Structure 1
């Protein structure tokens, strides 16, 4: 990115740092999946009893 000015590089860096990392996205997805699984199990348990 040699063609960018210093202030543009700083802004791009700020934007990149504000975005979630791939690890954070994977963790959030895993948590959402676990919540859906738990909700499915909770909904299924009273019907089976």
Structure 2
């Protein structure tokens, strides 16, 4: 899922927000410690100037 926005007020600017939800959950053992992956989504914010 993503959201895009543009502004040309002072200079060209683009703002983008993305959210990624994992499809699978799994555990991995690293240095005798179990690490759980895929239980939370991640959000990414991108800001572009003069594109």
TM class, shorter-chain normalised? under 0.3
Quick one: higher RCO (CA 8 Å, sep 6+), 1 or 2?
2
- When you count strand as a share of all residues, which structure comes out higher? 2
- When you count helix as a share of all residues, which structure comes out higher? 1
The TM-score normalised by the length of structure 1 is 0.21
Structure with max Cα Rg:
1
